[in-house]
Amino acid sequence: MRRLLWGARRALPGLKTGTQWLGSRGPHSTASPAMERAVVRCVPAEPKLSVSFVLGDGSARHMQRDQAEPLGRALARIANNAGKGNAKAAKKSKKARAESGAPPPPLPTVCLFSQDGQAVAEDVPNAEAWQDGTVLQVGETRYRVERNPPALTELQLPRSLLAGFPVCPKVRTEFGSPAHCLFRWYQEQKAEPGVAAAAAAATGWVEAPGGTERVFTPSNAHIGLRLKLICTPANELRRYGLAREAESGGPVEAGPGACTFDARHLYTKKVTGPGLIRTVTYNILADIYAQTELSRTVLYPYCAPYSLELDYRQNLLKKELAGYSADIICLQEVDKSVFTDSLGPALDAFGLEGLFRIKEKQHEGLATFYRRDRFSLLSQHDIALNQALLEDPLHKELRDQLALYPDVQEKVQQRSSVLQVSVLQSTSDPSRKVCVANTHLYWHPKGGNIRLIQAAVALSHIRHITHNVYPATPIIFCGDFNSTPSTGMYSFVSNGSVAEDHEDWGSNGEEKPCRISLTHPLRLKSACGEPAYTNYVGGFHGCLDYIFIDESALEVEQVIPLPSHEEVTTHQALPSVSHPSDHIALICDLKWK
């Protein structure tokens, strides 16, 4: 345990040791080494500020005061609180005081001093009085005031840990950034053979070798051991806040061995060079669909139940996505909680910024990630396809045509599909922009007519963004289109038109067939061609996912090979213990023309 504390002291500025703080501004702080710390949180948009400190008896005090309140009232409240602590301490000697006739102990003197040593006037408003570097004195104890230091608002480890798979903590900060925080990982100390259980439980923690980064990948040596993370919040000015720790709920478990994406990672070890854009599209299988009786017994009966669990699949997904070293990732079927609590924080640790758009009246949606040192976000133009068709003047012609087929129109309006559109700008060459679109079209096998309408709305919207809002901006259109290369939807997107007599207009067979001719002027092609399949389940396999690119401005440098058929079918079909989804990611490196 002593070794743990010494390591923490070396690694974590701001960690309290006895009554001494190792400088909130780092190892070279000029603050008085004997001075305690009072933390003030004051945000202009909020009516109150908070003051937190620890009294000499070890009791913590946390006060909320109006920002406009005079300082004198806050100091009086501090004196009263400190006096209560003194009163409790003196209560034990009440009988002795009664016998001697001594009065109760007086309230301590409380004052706030400016950085130049002058007492701050008591009529000064709290928001103005509690400045960084001022000194609060409570009786004989002095506190250095730190206003809005970096703080951790959340620190959490994943529930499932697998050897060989990255552990990405969820880190949320205030007045700081996870990118500037300090991290130190620890592992449970192995008990020596023959040591009693009680003694083994008290052996504590030791530093994990190489555990000083935000992401830690446990090895087989960690199997059976729990992990602990101590994180110190910080900002770009190397100002440090109070460290917090998080322990894993369970031990590291053995990984599944070889995964379907391992061989693909050999092609994507490094981030692409200048002028290239590595792009990924992937339907990751939403947990709300994987965790159903239908999924376990009908859709994926061949899949081991534990490998359908969210925590298990998230381990595989994080490793798979991180290993692609992508510049742009478009995901479909992303649970909102997965984006917020798992994938978002994990990919952020690997340098990717995430955007999320939930489906209408659903718990899952789309996520687009971009590498923040390659791109910056200019704007977002997300739409719900049914709402845009109904309300946007851009689609009036299509809306009027569809009015002749009310049954089809109603079915289109019932669908919850959305289109996520993000316009990104190159950080190295601001003249280069790219419009990244992401969608997941209607799933039903007999819904080809619905998908044609959805694709028409999506393409009209994308064209508006790339021709009117940001003229001459190249397009990368990713998604699960639920359409094989033989369908009208695929032909429409890649060829620019679909005839009114195409068989997909009557694909349902129940309502009156549409007779609509659709066209668009965009020059789009499938960057990864037409793979034999991107979805492989027990009862179906086919190509449903695509990365469509603007061939007038972009060209394909390389397509990362898909897993071999033997790898995909090792466990019969997908998902499996070695693959987290029923779809396969498409990956390609694109080049500006």
The DSSP symbol for 560 reads: P
| CB-CB contact of 48 with 56 (8 Å) | no
Per-residue pLDDT, 95:
56
Is the Cα torsion angle 24, 25, 28, 33 positive or negative in sign? Answer: negative
Tokens representing 479 are: 């998604």
Per-residue pLDDT, 192:
67
Residue recorded with tokens 């939403």: 286
The kind and range of the H/E element at 412 are helix 406-414
The SS3 call for residue 401 is helix
Tokens representing 550 are: 């603007």
R_g (Cα) of the chain, nearest Å: 30
CB atoms within 10 A of CB 498: 24
Dihedrals phi, psi of 247, to nearest 5 degrees: -110, 145
Tokens representing 578 are: 């070695």
Per-residue pLDDT, 202:
54
Per-residue pLDDT, 513:
87
- CA count, 13 A, side-chain hemisphere, 277: 34
The SS3 call for residue 447 is coil
- Going from the C-alpha of 447 to that of each of 385, 399, 450, 509, the distances in angstroms are 15, 18, 5, 10
| CB-CB contact of 543 with 517 (8 Å) | no
d(CA 573, CA 314): 19
The one catalytic residue in 335, 480, 545, 589 is 480
Tokens representing 372 are: 């923040």
| Max CA pair span of the chain | 107
The alpha carbon of 120 is separated from its chain's Cα centroid by a whole number of angstroms, namely: 43
The SS3 call for residue 99 is helix
Tokens representing 339 are: 């984006």
Beta bridge partners of 245: 230
Per-residue pLDDT, 105:
75
- Going from the C-alpha of 588 to that of each of 396, 422, 556, the distances in angstroms are 36, 19, 7
Count of helices and strands (H, E) across the chain: 17, 31
d(CA 539, CA 331): 23
d(CA 538, CA 559): 27
Classify burial at 25, counting beta carbons within 10 Å of its beta carbon; exposed 0-12, middle 13-18, buried 19 or more.
middle
Of 276, 267, 278, 168, nearest to 216 (Cα)?
168
The kind and range of the H/E element at 278 are strand 276-283
| CB-CB contact of 10 with 229 (8 Å) | no
480 catalytically annotated: yes
d(CA 476, CA 75): 60
Instruction: Tell me how far apart the terminal alpha carbons of the chain are, to the nearest angstrom.
Output: 59
Buried b (16+ CB within 10 A) or exposed e, 350-362: bbbbbbbbbbeee
Q: Are strands 328-335 and 276-283 parallel, antiparallel or unpaired?
A: parallel
Residues 6+ apart with CB under 8 A from 168: 158, 214, 215, 318, 342, 345, 346, 349
Tens digits of pLDDT across the chain (593 residues): 333 333 333 333 333 333 233 334 443 344 445 689 999 999 999 999 999 999 988 899 999 999 999 999 999 999 998 887 555 555 555 555 555 566 667 899 999 999 999 999 999 999 999 999 999 999 999 999 999 999 999 999 999 999 999 999 999 999 999 999 999 999 999 766 666 555 555 569 999 999 999 999 999 999 999 999 999 999 999 999 999 999 999 999 999 999 999 999 999 999 999 999 999 999 999 999 999 999 999 999 999 999 999 999 999 999 999 999 999 999 999 999 999 999 999 999 999 999 999 998 899 999 999 999 999 999 999 999 999 999 999 999 999 999 999 999 999 999 999 999 999 999 999 999 999 999 999 999 999 999 999 999 999 999 999 999 999 999 999 999 999 999 999 999 999 999 999 999 987 767 788 989 999 999 999 999 999 999 999 999 999 999 999 999 999 999 999 999 999 999 999 999 999 999 999 999 999 99
Per-residue pLDDT, 190:
78
The alpha carbon of 10 is separated from its chain's Cα centroid by a whole number of angstroms, namely: 29
d(CA 85, CA 57): 8
d(CA 295, CA 309): 12
Helix 448-464 to helix 406-414 angle (10° resolution) is 70
The SS3 call for residue 243 is coil
The alpha carbon of 218 is separated from its chain's Cα centroid by a whole number of angstroms, namely: 21
- 3-class secondary structure per residue, 131-147: CCCCEEEECCEEEEEEE
The kind and range of the H/E element at 184 are strand 182-188
Classify burial at 258, counting beta carbons within 10 Å of its beta carbon; exposed 0-12, middle 13-18, buried 19 or more.
exposed
The kind and range of the H/E element at 265 are helix 262-265
pTM (2 d.p.): 0.87
The DSSP symbol for 70 reads: B
Residues 6+ apart with CB under 8 A from 387: 360
